[in-house]
Amino acid sequence: KAGVTQTPRYLIKTRGQQVTLSCSPISGHRSVSWYQQTPGQGLQFLFEYFSETQRNKGNFPGRFSGRQFSNSRSEMNVSTLELGDSALYLCASSSIGPYDTQYFGPGTRLTVL
């Protein structure tokens, strides 16, 4: 099976812009989770989707949003970018959710200038 893919791998944006990141899970996986990783805060949970429904959301402002499509592919959007949004954004997929083994993608490195 192909692994989790994320696009794009690298992104440079300026403050105030918005960005959309994409994640394609492993075939058959219905759960997709998103995480933000920064040197200061570590790995922080953003949200989790299962069968197009958001089941949980982390402690992030409303500028961070996501969605999941019927084919389980997921996107996350960050509007009005701030310098502090510079991070590695990781998505992970699994069959049933965070209780199960998570398979991570390579991440999208977002730099906000």
Partner 1 sequence: SQQGEEDPQALSIQEGENATMNCSYKTSINNLQWYRQNSGRGLVHLILIRSNEREKHSGRLRVTLDTSKKSSSLLITASRAADTASYFCATDGQGAQKLVFGQGTRLTINP
Please report, as ranges, the residues that interact with partner 1 according to CB under 8 A: 4, 33, 35, 42-43, 45, 48, 50, 55-56, 58, 88, 90, 92, 97-107, 109
Q: How far is the CB of 30 from partner 1 (least distance, A)?
A: 13
Determine contact, residues 19/78, Cβ cutoff 8 Å.
Answer: yes
Q: Would you give the distance in Å from CA 3 to the centre of its chain?
A: 15
Smaller CB separation from partner 1, 18 or 54: 54
As measured in angstroms, the least distance from the Cβ of 35 to partner 1 is 8
Smallest gap from residue 16 Cβ to partner 1 (A):
26
Nearest Cα neighbor of 67 from 50, 81, 45, 79 is 50
Query: Could you tell me the CA-to-CA distances from 49 to 15, 39, 56, 69, 96 in Å, in that order?
Result: 28, 25, 8, 10, 10
Do 4 and 103 contact (CB within 8 A), yes or no? yes
Q: How far is the CB of 91 from partner 1 (least distance, A)?
A: 9
What the block records as the tokens of 82 is 């701030």
